[in-house]
Structure 1
Amino acid sequence: QTGGEVAVEEFEYKVRRLINDYVTPPKNAYKLNMALWWMDRFQKEIREKVRVRSMHDLFKVLEVEDILLCARLSATAALERKESRWGFWHYRADFPKKDDENWRKHIMLKSGADPGEVLVSHRPVIRMQ
């Protein structure tokens, strides 16, 4: 993994731009699907194209992989929720209203069997009496 043509700092910049451009509000299905498409591509490219010449570079690559994973989880959960809730950061332009009837629940995410696969499930909100 030492012979890639892209510096890890440049690759991290691309990942952070992707997050800022596609995963931050106002969110919509198009932007979130584009983000997930690019994340799949970046996940492949990080192993093939990023240059690692020192331990610092290696740790930075591992950090960028973690950033990609967190962004993938965030985009997946945001795409799953078909409403807006909890203010600006969870606003969906394509679903601008709060929908307690259908979405008063938690979105649960876990890793699937395949690399990069995210399994989505729901859990009801339990109200304390």
Structure 2
Amino acid sequence: QAIVDELFTPYRVFEESQGRTSRPDINPDYFYPKQGLHRLQKIMDEYCAGTGTNYLTNEPTLNRGLELMDVFKEDMAQVAARDRHELLRCWELRDRIWCGEAHMRHILHRKETRWPGYYYRGDFPKIDDENWKVFVNSRYDAATGEWDMSTHPCHTLVP
């Protein structure tokens, strides 16, 4: 029953708060998944080497982005759903936030630029295949809230 209660929390958030304003799409007590997607896109674009920054980022910018992601994860307690479609979108948004955070942590872990086509680190402007032509893996420990980052060799099968 606890899992069901958690899954349907966005319904309850909407039902309990919808009467506070005359317009259901503007409410200080909740936001909709679409509004959350815009917020996530803005964080990823500005702090995680998006098109708005010409794919450029650095360590302080990534750390600030991670701080904003932590705030966003706290705010997810206020995401609301009017119907089952939006309920699905609420949980999709939660998943996208985790993926975005993992992506930021992977970029932060690599001390190099991965260009062309990926991102440019202003604090590490060179491609360093000697040290960084590797796979970066991550593991999140829910008990401690910590991320464990590791690297594994990349073997070229076809030269």
Q: CA deviation at 1:97?
A: 0.6
RMSD value, Cα: 1.9
Query: What do residues 21-78 of structure 1 show as CA deviations (whole Å, max 9, x unaligned)?
Result: 111210211121111111111112112x222232122111111111111111110000
Distance, in Å, in 1 between the alignment partners of 2:144 and 2:67 is 15
Where in structure 1 do 4 or more consecutive aligned residues deviate above 3 Å?
Answer: 113-117
What amino acid is the match of 2:62? L
User: What's 1:15 paired with?
Assistant: 40
Bigger RCO (CA 8 Å, 6+ sep): 1
- Find the aligned partners of 2:56 and 2:153 in 1 and give their Cα distance: 26
> CA offsets per residue over residues 52-111 of structure 1, 9 Å max, x none?
232122111111111111111110000000011231422111100112332222111122
Map 1:104-119 → 2, pairs under 5 A: 104-114=133-143, 117-119=146-148
TM-score, structure 2 as length reference = 0.71
The DSSP-based 3-state class of the residue aligned with 1:108 is: strand
Offset at residue 123 of structure 1 (A):
0.6
Question: Corresponding residue for 2:22?
Answer: none
| Percent of paired sites with the same residue | 29
State the match for 2:21 in structure 1: none
In the alignment, structure 1 residue 33 sits paired with structure 2 residue 58:
no
* Maintained 8 Å contact 2:80/2:90: no
Distance, in Å, in 1 between the alignment partners of 2:71 and 2:48 is 16
Q: What is the TM-score with the length of structure 1 in the denominator?
A: 0.86
SS at match of 1:95: coil
Instruction: Quote the Cα distance in structure 2 between the aligned partners of 1:116 and 1:52.
Output: 27
Give the number of equivalent residue pairs: 128
| Stretches of structure 2 lacking an aligned partner (at least 5 in a row) | 1-8, 14-28, 50-54
Among 46, 56, 72, the alignment partner of 2:76 is 46
Query: Which secondary structure does the structure 2 equivalent of 1:51 belong to?
Result: coil
Q: Secondary structure at the match of 1:127?
A: coil
Larger Rg: 2
Q: 1:10 to 1:116 in 2, by over 3 A?
A: farther
What is the distance in 2 between the residues matched to 1:20 and 1:46? 20
